[in-house]
Copies of this chain bind each other. A is one copy, B any other.
Amino acid sequence: MTKKTTIYDIAEKLGITAATVSRALNGNPKISEATRQLVSDTAKEMNYEQNKLALALKSGKSYNVGVIVPRIDSNFFASVIRGIEEELYPKGYHVIICQTHDQKSLEIENINSLLNAQVDGILMSISNSGPEENQSFDRLIKKNVPLIFFDRKKEIEGVSSVTIDDFKGGYQATQHLIDQGCRRIAHLSNNRKIEIFKNRYLGYKQAIIDNGLEFDESLVIETTSRVAEGSKSTKVLLDMETPPDAIFSSSDFVALGAIQEIKSRGLKIPEDICVVGFANEPFTRFMELSITSVDQSPVEMGRIAAQVFMEEVNKSKKIKTQKQVVLTPELMIRKSSLKSEVIAH
């Protein structure tokens, strides 16, 4: 790389001191307008650019925040990240994105790498699989690096989170199916050790009970969030003695797999069986048979997570508060579950 201009170069050229240059550049009030002009002109002229690394070393702040997600190629996470960026970029922060591919080991590695890179905070959605492990979180908390969970959180004292009301989402989806006349509603659930999936399940269960229907545990199957898994689990459901007349899935991808399996058997959607997914991925809207799903306002979620982060950064280090923001989900009703005439959206 070409030799970079430093404040010393400017100082030398102007016969003043580096400190003055620094102050002038930073708009320190006790610098004469004359020198300020002079300095900033020469800086421009010499193509000066502040070395953020030096600043970071000095101030202990890197102006980088880490964002850890299971994967980036889902619209949901990509949108959350977009929200975070929109909020943080104008404030001079940079976003380092890491993927865990749903592996705990990678999650730990990522946290450590980000910590090494001296990030000022970490916003994350925890991963599914792998052994429970809290060491890296402990390290984070001990170092007092702000940690914010979004969507997939973990109950940790003093750690803030931004989530949606998954219970409500599950409840709404199930209620909708019941309203459509479905009576035997199955649930394809992701790993229920993760809170969001547990809550969607609980909402589903509660809706069934509240409506006086029979809750049948055998209609609940746990899957990963892959399309193929959705088909596989649906096979099991359809092979039951009394198969379900509706499926509520905690994932759009799994719902897609379910639909494929249902269709391959010549069953009709929504006439024979209704399907509802979760996350409102774009493809749910684009399919010829559009899929009913629960929207989680991901961009909003990202923005709020970023705001919470900013609050923690600016907070006096002593006060430890824990903020829990909960957004309201919205059911997007589409063809896959609408037996009546009009199609919404």
Give A51-92 interface residues, CB cut-off 8 Å to B. 51-54, 56-57, 60, 62, 64, 71-75, 78-79, 81-82, 85, 89
| Complex Cα spacing A72 to B287, Å | 21
Interface contact B78-A72, CB-CB below 8 Å: yes
Distance from A271 Cβ to chain B, minimum over Cβ atoms (Å): 16
Chain B residue contacts of A99, Cβ below 8 A: 82, 85
Task: Give A39-59 interface residues, CB cut-off 8 Å to B.
Answer: 49-54, 56-57
A73 CB contacts on chain B under 8 angstroms:
72-75, 78-79
In this assembly, does A327 line the interface, its C-beta being within 8 Å of a C-beta of chain B?
no
Which residues of chain B come closer than 8 Å to A50, judged between CB atoms?
116
Is B51 in contact with A118, judged by CB distance below 8 angstroms? yes
Chain A positions 2 through 16: 1 when the CB is less than 8 Å from some CB of chain B, otherwise 0: 101000000000000
A265 within 8 Å of B by Cβ?
no
B residues within 8 A CB of A267?
A: none
Give the residue of B118, B145, B263, B286 whose beta carbon is less than 8 angstroms from that of A256.
B286
A157-201: which residues lie under 8 A (CB-CB) from chain B? none
Instruction: Report the minimum CB–CB distance from A298 to chain B (whole Å).
Output: 10
> Is A326 part of the binding interface, using a Cβ–Cβ cutoff of 8 Å?
no
Q: How many residues of A contact B (CB 8 A)?
A: 50
Closest CB-CB distance, A64 to chain B, in whole Å? 7
Contact B286 A260 (CB under 8 A): yes
**Do residues B62 and A144 form an inter-chain contact, with CB atoms below 8 A?**
no
Task: Answer yes or no: A288 CB below 8 A from chain B CBs.
Answer: yes
Q: Could you mark each residue 288-305 of chain A with 1 if its beta carbon is under 8 Å from any beta carbon of chain B, else 0?
A: 110000000000000000
A287 to chain B, nearest CB (A): 7
A95 at the interface (CB under 8 A from B): yes
Q: Which residue of B lies closest to A112 (CB)?
A: B49
Evaluate contact between B95 and A1: CB separation under 8 angstroms.
no
Per-residue CB proximity of A128-151 to B under 8 Å, as 1/0? 000000000000001111000000
Q: How far is the CA of A79 from the CA of B57 in the complex (A)?
A: 34
Cβ–Cβ contact B78 & A1, under 8 A? no
The listed residue (B1, B49, B89, B283) touching A116 by CB distance below 8 A is B49
